Chains A and B, each alone.
Chain A
Amino acid sequence: MTHAQHKAALDAHVREIVAWHFDPKTGSPFWLDFASKLGWDPRREIRRFEDLHKFPPFEDEWLRGGPVRRWIPQGLAGKPAYVFETGGTTGIPKSRVQLEDFRIDYEMFSDTLPDQYFPRGANWLMLGPSGPRRLRLAVEHLCQHRGGICFCVDLDPRWVVKLIKAGQMEQLELYKAHVIEQAVTILGAGHEIKCMFTTPKLLEGLAEALEDRGTSIREQGITGIFAGGTEFTPQFTRFATEELLGPGVYMTPTYGNTLMGLACSKPVSAADGYKISYFAPQPRAAIEVVSFDDADKVVGYGETGRVRLTTLTKETFVPGFLERDEGEREAPCDLYPWDGISGVRPFRSLAGGTTVGVY
């Protein structure tokens, strides 16, 4: 499909999703109540993606607290539901109710993984956050979808953030070592693990711990690493590729969160300066890079702006959520013929207050 055809498909998807969420028979209590106060009917007014700007900005405070069932579309009532949380170090965490979305997102992501490095049937290690995180179940599903069994560790990212905020760096190192030790034990226990999810800091920690034991990630049989969770820089990617992993181990950076799902990166290469460009799983989610001063104004290609995220699935409708990240707008590419973003990093005016932990 061409860029124009994708845009047409996105607009059609927007109409379908808006029709679903604002239909009194299928929509969620939250959005039906919201629409009743709007004074206009989204089903009539929203005809294309850009029309979503007519909604007032989505406030993440709406995601805090219950009852969470207000988010479940009536058209999907009765199906088993999950609730996933983000943040939560202090106060009430933001939550998202999901039925099937996390599975669909990760099955789509699975299609982008090269079988050569992520062999079908291989077992996985999930070296990332556990608890009420979507990532934990999503990675396990990805692994099962590809025919494998997923091994997990205990990792509480909220405790990590608390340790950092309290300046307890020694405790932080001990906790990190505790997590890494679980991973080393699993890898050395004959489980035929070939693939893993991890974060940049845990990848470094694991590589170091294995090297201390006279072995390496590659020697442990890992061939494919799906990495994400925190900010990724080209320099880290290059360092990891050249010095932690070596030839034969493939790493794919991703950018995602509980709201959006998962943005894949265009294959990262040395020739391209290890530049990392992410593309949202359109049409289920779309990323816009918008002006810092006017969130309705998309910046030019190559220009810097704040991430504005729109989620468009039958389970979840989130129009124009301003993320805590910024980056440069990227032109469409062959693999992902729609806008992307590169250089993703914490939003400058929030960066001072964001604590990036091991996760």
Chain B
Amino acid sequence: MLNLPIIRWGTPYSSLEQEDVTHFITGEPLARMSLANPGLLARDMRHVERARAVLTEIPIPELAAMMKKAGELFVNATLPIGDGEQSPEDFARAQSATTGLPVHLCQANMRKNHFVLSNMDKILDALTRGLDPAILSRGYGRESRGVIVSYQAQTAALGLVLPSNSPGVHALWLPAIPMQIGLVIKPGSQEPWTPYRMIAAFTAAGVPKEAMAIYPGHADIGGEVVRRVDRAMIFGGASTVRQYRGDPRVQVHGPGFSKILLGDDIVDQWEKYLDVMIESVASNGGRGCINTSGIWASRHTKEIAQAIAEKIGPTPALPPEDPQAALAAFAVPGAAKAIWNTVAAQLREPGATHVTERFGERLVELQRTGYIRPTVVHSASPALQLANTEFMYPFVSVVECPQEEMLKKIGPTLVATAITNDAPWQRKLIDAPCIDRLNLGPIPTTRLDWLQPHEGNIVEFLFRPRAFQTLASSAA
């Protein structure tokens, strides 16, 4: 069995407190993970400045090239992990075994990370809007249009409190290292695999190990990461989002409530967009915050719900190794049943109709785990509880709502795909503050263009543009 140590700025440390990372079906331990105590993390953060110092010695284009190499290693190489090593195949199997995500989806997530790492130069160029990378390193510089600009790093390292169940999110933090910002990672208790493999790939590609730290642990370690690092990304539920709302040091990634909005001008041809809707709801096991959980239209909602249900309702719960497996298991015992009970209770509200009911039981309980099969609900009104909610499996509520009411009712929406050619409404969609990412046209909510910022631009999160004046003779 693998032993996964704490990584203290590149140096492994084996804790006296350890926890097994277990197979979600068999309960077999796959790794034993060292758990950090908060004081240990706090102590290491006294040296956080060194993380940025060692990175700023390497020019950003060189770090971006290292990312490209790391991407290759991440998908293709056998890399050290803890006291052992792991091939790409072992990695996908291990990740599937502890998170419940099918193996082929784990492999797809590896390819996504590879894509982001391979295109890091383009991503940085897009996110910085073409800024000369040397300006980020030096803190200031003259742009091609002759203006002095200054970007001040807001932290020496980015703290990450990562989720256990969504291997898809890791691409979000990958731009930190090439922007010369270190990493302080608390991995999810069921998904240590990506952080350890990513750090191994970075190290093998030439990134100084002193810039990276991993602290597995319980909830107190998550709190300590946020407390000790000046900028942190944290993944959690609605309560986590509430806890950190308004804290400029923290970027919270919670439920997305992503939606597809069908305009009155096209809704009569809704069948043309069925594939976009299905991909948005069901891809990647329906687990992401970018998966669609609501499809809003003023009419035809019952037919739309029916058509989606016919496509995804019969989806079976298949073993994770099955290449056809489209559903992720809920790896925490009892979780599937608890979630299904919530859905079932809310389905009792008048106006909510369970459209996938005729395709058999949704809850599939196994000995240690459970699945919930895709669920399509018709909501006769946006006021229903199930009209605007999100669950971590393919769940969608098709909501009947007049077009002119939609923007008042949809609430916070991470990705909105608005299918309409109605120019005045498009204008309102563009201006709607409740929408974060906007796709105008039939683009699945799950298809992210990595050249676009996600939930706030990571460059603006890590660097502050500020005024800077100097005389030529005093320039550093």
Q: Please tell me if the beta carbons of A234 and B16 are within 8 angstroms of each other in the complex.
A: yes
Stretch at the interface among B38-46, B328-336, B370-378, B451-459: B38-46
Residues of B within 8 A of A233 (CB): 16-17, 37
Inter-chain contacts of A236 with B (CB < 8 A): 37, 39
1/0 per residue, CB under 8 A from A, across B39-58: the answer is 11011001000000000000
Contact partner of B16 among A243, A244, A273, CB < 8 A? A273
Q: Are B40 and A243 in contact (CB under 8 A)?
A: yes
A200 contacts which chain B residues (CB < 8 A)?
39
Cα of A169 to Cα of B43 in the assembled complex, Å: 19
Q: How far is the CB of B460 from chain A (nearest CB, A)?
A: 24
* Chain B 15-43 interface residues, beta-carbon cutoff 8 Å to A: 15-17, 35, 37-40, 42-43
- Offer 15 A-B interface pairs, CB within 8 angstroms, sorted by A: A169-B223, A173-B227, A200-B39, A204-B38, A233-B17, A235-B15, A235-B16, A235-B35, A236-B37, A236-B39, A238-B16, A239-B40, A239-B43, A240-B39, A274-B16
Per DSSP, chain B at the interface is helix
Q: Which residues of A contact B38 (CB under 8 A)?
A: 204
Contact B17 A204 (CB under 8 A): no
A208 within 8 A of B: yes
> CB-defined interface of A180-220 with B at 8 Å, one 1/0 digit per residue?
00000000000000000000100010001001000000000
Q: Chain B CB within 10 Å — which of A211, A235, A243 has the most?
A: A235
The smallest C-beta distance from A234 to any residue of chain B, in angstroms, reads 4
Q: Is B473 an interface residue (CB 8 A)?
A: no
Q: How distant is the Cα of A169 from the Cα of B243 in the complex, in angstroms?
A: 10
Chain A positions within 8 Å of B, measured between CB atoms, are 167, 169, 173, 200, 204, 208, 211, 233-236, 238-240, 243-244, 273-274
Residues of chain B lying within 8 A (CB to CB) of residue A238: 16
Closest to B243 in A: A167
Asked whether A204 lies within 8 Å of B42 as measured between CB atoms, the reply is: yes
Among all A-B residue pairs, the 9 with the closest Cβ atoms:
A204-B39, A235-B16, A235-B17, A234-B16, A236-B37, A235-B15, A235-B37, A239-B40, A238-B16
Residues in A with CB closer than 8 Å to B15 are 235
Q: Which residue from A167, A234, A243, A274 sits with its C-beta under 8 Å from B43? A: A243
Supplied contacts A233-B37, A243-B43, 6 more A-B pairs, CB within 8 Å: A204-B39, A208-B43, A234-B16, A236-B37, A240-B39, A244-B39
| Chain A contact residues: helix, strand, loop or mixed | helix
Closest B residue to A237 by beta carbon equals: B16
Q: Which of B39, B223, B243 contacts A239 (CB 8 A)?
A: B39
CA gap between A236 and B15 in the complex, in Å: 10
Q: How far is the CA of A169 from the CA of B227 in the complex (A)?
A: 10
- Nearest-CB residue, chain B, relative to A212: B46
Interface size on B, residues (CB 8 A): 14
Contact with A along B210-239 (1 / 0, CB 8 A): 000000000000010001000000000000
In angstroms, Cα B37 to Cα A238, docked, is 11
A208→B42 contact, CB < 8 A: yes
Please give the distance in Å from B455's CB to the nearest CB on chain A: 23
List, in ascending order, chain B residues with CB within 8 A of A234's CB.
16-17
User: In angstroms, how far is the closest chain A Cβ from the Cβ of B326?
Assistant: 35
Chain A residues within an 8 Å CB radius of B39: 200, 204, 236, 239-240, 244
CB of A277, distance to nearest CB on chain B (Å): 14
Q: Which of A169, A173, A211, A239 meets B37, CB within 8 Å?
A: A239
What is the minimal beta-carbon distance from A165 to any residue of chain B, in angstroms? Answer: 14
Determine the residue in chain B with the shortest Cβ distance to A200.
B39
Q: Which residues of A contact B16 (CB under 8 A)?
A: 233-235, 238, 273-274
A204-B45 Cα distance, complex, nearest whole Å: 14
What's the Cα separation between A167 and B16 when bound, in Å?
30
Chain A residues positioned under 8 Å from B223 (CB to CB): 169
For A235, the chain B residues whose CB sits under 8 A away are 15-17, 35, 37
Q: Enumerate B237-256 residues with CB–CB distance to A below 8 Å.
A: 243
User: With the chains together, A205 CA to B39 CA distance in Å?
Assistant: 9
Please give the distance in Å from A227's CB to the nearest CB on chain B: 13
> For the complex, what is the distance from the CA of A216 to the CA of B445, rounded to whole Å?
54
Residues of A within 8 A of B42 (CB): 204, 208
A204 to B40, CA, bound (A): 9
Compute how far the CA of A233 lies from the CA of B40 in the bound complex, rounded to whole angstroms: 13
> CA A240 – CA B46 in complex, angstroms?
16
For the complex, give the distance between the alpha carbons of A253 and B43 in Å. Answer: 21
Q: How far is the CA of A1 from the CA of B39 in the complex (A)?
A: 41
A243 proximity list for chain B (CB < 8 A): 40, 43
> Which residue in chain B gives the minimum CB-CB distance to A240?
B39
Most buried by B among A200, A204, A211, A273: A204
Interface string of B108-145 (1 = CB under 8 A from A): 00000000000000000000000000000000000000
Q: Could you say which residues of chain A place their CB within 8 Å of the CB of B17?
A: 233-235
With both chains docked as a complex, state the minimum distance between the C-beta of A241 and any C-beta of chain B, in angstroms. Answer: 11
Q: Could you tell me the distance in whole angstroms from the C-beta of B61 to the nearest C-beta in chain A? A: 38
CA distance A274 to B35 in the complex (A): 15
- B1-27: CB near A (< 8 Å → 1, else 0) gives 000000000000001110000000000
Closest Cβ–Cβ distance, residue A153 to chain B (whole Å): 20
Tell me if A211 and B46 are in contact (CB < 8 A): yes
- B35 proximity list for chain A (CB < 8 A): 235
Which residues from chain B contact A211 at a C-beta distance below 8 Å? 46
* Highest count of chain B CB atoms <10 Å: which of A173, A200, A239, A243: A239
Separation of A234 and B42 alpha carbons in the complex (Å): 18
Query: Which residue of the partner chain B has the closest CB to A203?
Result: B39
Q: For A236, A273, A274, which residue has the most chain B Cβ atoms within 10 angstroms?
A: A236
Minimum CB–CB distance for B18 against chain A, Å: 9
Inter-chain CA distance A233–B17, complex, in Å, is 8
* CB closest chain-A residue, reference B40: A239
Least Cβ distance of A294 to chain B in Å? 26
B430 to chain A, nearest CB (A): 37
CB distance from A269 to the nearest CB of B (A): 13
Chain B residues, Cβ within 8 Å of A208: 42-43
Interchain nearest-CB distance for A173 vs B (Å): 8
CA distance A204 to B17 in the complex (A): 18
Query: How many whole Å from A15's CB to the nearest CB in chain B?
Result: 42
Q: How many whole Å from B382's CB to the nearest CB in chain A?
A: 31
Complex: how many Å from CA A221 to CA B425?
73
Using Cβ atoms and an 8 Å threshold, which residues of chain A touch B46? 211
User: Nearest-CB distance from B330 to chain A (Å)?
Assistant: 20
Once bound together, how far apart are the Cα atoms of A238 and B16, in whole Å? Answer: 8
Please measure, in the bound complex, the distance between the C-alpha atom of A243 and the C-alpha atom of B16, giving whole angstroms: 15
- Give Cα distance in the complex from A234 to B35, angstroms: 12
Q: How far is the CA of A235 from the CA of B43 in the complex (A)?
A: 14
* Distance between Cα atoms of A173 and B228 in the complex (Å): 12
Q: Give the nearest-CB partner of B247 in chain A.
A: A170
CB distance from B47 to the nearest CB of A (A): 12
Determine the distance from Cα of A82 to Cα of B426 in the docked complex, in whole angstroms.
75
Which residues of chain B are near A240, meaning CB under 8 Å?
39
Residues of chain A contacted by B37 (CB below 8 angstroms)? 233, 235-236, 239
- Chain B residues with Cβ below 8 Å from A204 are 38-39, 42
Q: How far is the CA of A239 from the CA of B43 in the complex (A)?
A: 10
